Copies of this chain bind each other. A is one copy, B any other.
Amino acid sequence: MTHTTTRRLVLDETAQDLLFRQAHTVDRFTDEPVPDDMVRAVHDLVRNGPTAFNQQPLRLVLLRSPQSRGRLARHLSRGNRDKTVRAPLTALLAVDNHFHRRLPEQFPQFPGAIDLFTGEQGVRERSAMFNGALQAAYFIIGIRAAGLAAGPMSGFDEDGVNGEFFPDGDLSTLLLVNIGRPAPDGARPRGPRLGYDEIRTTL
């Protein structure tokens, strides 16, 4: 099955392995730094991914200083603290809750797009979260495309992190991602996955 499906794709097997089949969530990294031009290269690739009305709500806060990492650590679940302080780079992925202000310039073919998001705040924040999550996934794929490993984490006190880094409420935290090269035995073993026949219905 897997062999057949591998060949059903156009993407070559090396790339399939790099991005999905041999890629793993990583908890422990080597000390090799992740320079800013590498994150820039990741963004240059994945910023092309689609979002609704090209809204692109995702914002990156790169926590490089020990101070910034310490400010984050106190809001993390216990199991996420040590590995985050030690990671070469931690990226805080957030969304701009005022993304709609950029729509006239980012989606010029539909000037009315901004009006869809000027009403109820909940509608706007839900759209930011959903489309920011799409972009967060593209970003994880991009980290792997750069030959790096990602350690995405949702185990943190969301209100605490938002209060710490975004006290004015303009941004909301989505996800934290540790980034670097995997240490030996730093990757988690692959967990089980649901089969196609469990998740697909045809009508």
Contacts and interface: CB of A to CB of B under 8 A. Distances in A.
Contact of A133 (B38, B48, B133): B133
Contacts of A21: 45, 48
Interface residues of A, number: 83
B20 A147 contact: no
Interface string A162-203: 000100000000100000000000000011111010011111
A203 B166 CA distance: 13
A203 B134 contact: no
Contact of A64 (B37, B58, B203): B203
A192 B53 CA distance: 11
Contacts of A19: 11, 141
A18 B11 CA distance: 8
A82 interface: no
The dominant DSSP class at the A interface is: helix
Nearest to A177: B50
A86 B137 CA distance: 29
Contacts of A23: 48
Nearest to A11: B145
A121 interface: no
A115 interface: no
B140 A141 contact: no
Interface of A: 1-2, 4-6, 8-12, 14-16, 18-21, 23, 25, 36-50, 52, 54, 56, 58-65, 67-68, 102, 105-107, 127, 129-131, 133-138, 140-141, 144-147, 150, 152, 154, 165, 174, 190-194, 196, 199-203
